[in-house]
Amino acid sequence: MIVPSLSQQDVSLLREDTPATGRLIHFNNAGTGLIPAPVLNAVKYHLDLEAQLGGYEAAAAAKPELDAFYTSLSALLGCKPHEIAYVENATRAWDMAFYGIDFRKGDRIVTGRAEYVSNYVAFLQVKNRKGIEIDIIEDDKNGQIDLVELKAAITPKTRLIALTHIPTFSGLINPAEDVGEIARASNVLYLLDACQSAGQIPVNVNEIGCDMLSGTGRKYLRGPRGTGFLFVSDNVLDQLDPPFVDLQAANWIDENRFELVPHAQRFETWERYVAGQVGLGVAATYAIGFGMERIGNRVCSLGAQLRSELSRLNGVELHDKGARKGGIVTFALAGETPVQTKARLAEERINVSVSNASSARIDLPHRGLDAVVRASLHAYNTEEEIEHFVKVLGKYRE
């Protein structure tokens, strides 16, 4: 069954819910998406409630909305509500899963060149602490993780496959489902970083076959900053030991004993950004309402259009990899640094970002790149915005 993209009526509604689209062109959704009105209203309402009732009392009054967060996120990811944990950001969510693994000396982690900087420095820290080894899988001819090499790299010492689904510095969409098949066949834990993919394309943990998945609210889901989530499958819950616990994660049985709660909330902490959790639940529901396949189709289509138009612009070099590409488009202009390009676009009220080699040590320098301009589109962006973007971009030669 072919799922259509969003209609023009849908796009108009998305833009009506996003007032800033009338004042600027926001091509920095891989940094932070523009929050839609329903999410903003939900967060403001709860903050007002805290001011009126008190924080504890407001949280008690918002229990249905807080419970709805788990239902909404599980619907978004295709899992059970009790397999979801609310965490303050994507990195901490990923950390709770990764540092919960009891690595031993000689264990091996398998990853690819798209891995996110915070994840890789965690690998290095555990390598220094416990003597694990890191196996980097090279890209295949299309620029995605090489599945043949990945399968060949698995040994009895391989403890974890860690994959970034969509890197922050490229349009690549890694073949997460194929990696899941390899992980299952090898009986190896599989941790997926969905920081850029959740909200940009459909993400179903059962189809992917990952054991753990981390994500953020602030990017393509268009939720509040300071919010994140973690999926942990029931199948591996007892194989992980949370790196720290509190009264949310555990029950204090007596003076000398505690018990972890029997679900993914063992990876949570009691104190949290309550308004953010409410807002993130609303953001997930909002995305589901439009249909993630339809949103994903539009985002990928807009990304393809921008790449096509940039490829015809004199002096532009595109740097996206992968057989499948999404809404993140990376490039550089001859005669202008990425920082200069970003600043020039900002003068025209166009938001983009710059990805530096310091955040991609095993990828960008490997390709001879110091930095790239990152333009990341969402479903509320338009074909007309792309045309204007390309026109403005070309002015530097005039």
Q: For residues 19 and 185, what is the distance between their CA atoms, to the nearest angstrom?
A: 48
Supply the DSSP symbol for 138: P
Which tokens sit at 29? 């959704």
Cβ neighbours, 10 Å, residue 184: 13
Whether 212 contacts 189, CB under 8 Å: yes
Residues in the chain, overall count: 398
Q: What's the N-to-C CA distance of the chain in angstroms?
A: 48
What angle is formed at CA 69 by the lines to CA 68 and CA 72, rounded to 5 degrees?
A: 80
What angle is formed at CA 81 by the lines to CA 111 and CA 119, rounded to 5 degrees?
A: 20
Class of domain 40-289 (CATH, top level): alpha beta
Own/partner long-range contacts of 100-104 (Cβ < 8 Å, ≥24 apart)? 100/240, 100/241, 100/242, 100/243, 100/267, 101/159, 101/160, 101/189, 101/239, 101/240, 102/241, 103/130, 103/132, 103/159, 104/130, 104/132
Closest by Cα among 182, 178, 176 to 153: 182
Question: pTM for this one?
Answer: 0.97
Domain with CATH 3.90.1150.10 in the chain: 8-35+292-397
Ramachandran quadrant class, 192 (left: phi over 0; alpha: psi -120 to 50; beta: rest): beta
Closest by Cα among 10, 23, 77 to 379: 10
Q: For residues 352 and 51, what is the distance between their CA atoms, to the nearest angstrom?
A: 36
Ramachandran quadrant class, 113 (left: phi over 0; alpha: psi -120 to 50; beta: rest): alpha
Cβ neighbours, 10 Å, residue 60: 11
Architecture of domain 8-35+292-397: Alpha-Beta Complex (3.90)
Closest by Cα among 295, 275, 292 to 86: 275
Domain with CATH 3.40.640.10 in the chain: 40-289
What angle is formed at CA 85 by the lines to CA 220 and CA 188, rounded to 5 degrees?
A: 90
Q: For residues 6 and 17, what is the distance between their CA atoms, to the nearest angstrom?
A: 15
DSSP string, 264-282: GGGG--SS--HHHHHHHHH
Q: For residues 352 and 339, what is the distance between their CA atoms, to the nearest angstrom?
A: 10
Q: For residues 306 and 386, what is the distance between their CA atoms, to the nearest angstrom?
A: 6
What angle is formed at CA 85 by the lines to CA 224 and CA 78, rounded to 5 degrees?
A: 90
Q: 30-43 burial string, b = 16+ CB within 10 Å, else e?
A: bebbbbbebbbebb
Print pLDDT tens along the chain (398 aa): 567 889 999 999 999 999 999 999 999 999 999 999 999 999 999 999 999 999 999 999 999 999 999 999 999 999 999 999 999 999 999 999 999 999 999 999 999 999 999 999 999 999 999 999 999 999 999 999 999 999 999 999 999 999 999 999 999 999 999 999 999 999 999 999 999 999 999 999 999 999 999 999 999 999 999 999 999 999 999 999 999 999 999 999 999 999 999 999 999 999 999 999 999 999 999 999 999 999 999 999 999 999 999 999 999 999 999 999 999 999 999 999 999 999 999 999 999 999 999 999 999 999 999 999 999 999 999 999 999 999 999 887 65
